[in-house]
């Protein structure tokens, strides 16, 4: 049961995080951006690089950067799912 909740949390937090960083006025153009040919394309490698940032840089773990820390989104999604499923 916990594994199912964790998989669901991964999916929900990935979607929420991807949308958030793209529409956040201080970020934008992370994964949907103009390529070298001038065409708007989806570039998931940029999103994956941002998502793995907390594994490389410690500043992502400071509260000021929690909004762009994927693992914080994942933890919050998992806790919410656990709370909903336990009721």
Q: At what angle do helices 2-23 and 44-51 cross, to 10 degrees?
A: 110
| pLDDT per position as a tens digit, 61-76 | 999 999 999 999 999 9
| pLDDT per position as a tens digit, 49-62 | 999 999 999 999 99
Q: What is the pTM of this model?
A: 0.88
Q: What is the mean pLDDT of residues 31-39?
A: 91
| pLDDT per position as a tens digit, 4-17 | 999 999 999 999 99
Backbone phi, psi, residue 60, to 5°: -65, -20
Residue 37 and residue 30 in contact, taking contact as beta carbons nearer than 8 Å = no
């Amino acid at each position: 049961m916990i594994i199912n909740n964790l998989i669901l949390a991964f999916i929900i937090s990935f979607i929420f995080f991807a949308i958030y960083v793209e529409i956040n006025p201080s970020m934008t153009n992370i994964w949907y951006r103009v390529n070298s040919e001038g065409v708007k394309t989806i570039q998931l490698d940029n999103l994956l690089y941002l998502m793995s940032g907390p594994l490389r840089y410690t500043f992502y773990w400071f509260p000021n950067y929690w909004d762009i820390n994927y693992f914080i989104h994942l933890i919050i999604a998992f806790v919410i799912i656990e709370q909903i499923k336990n009721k």
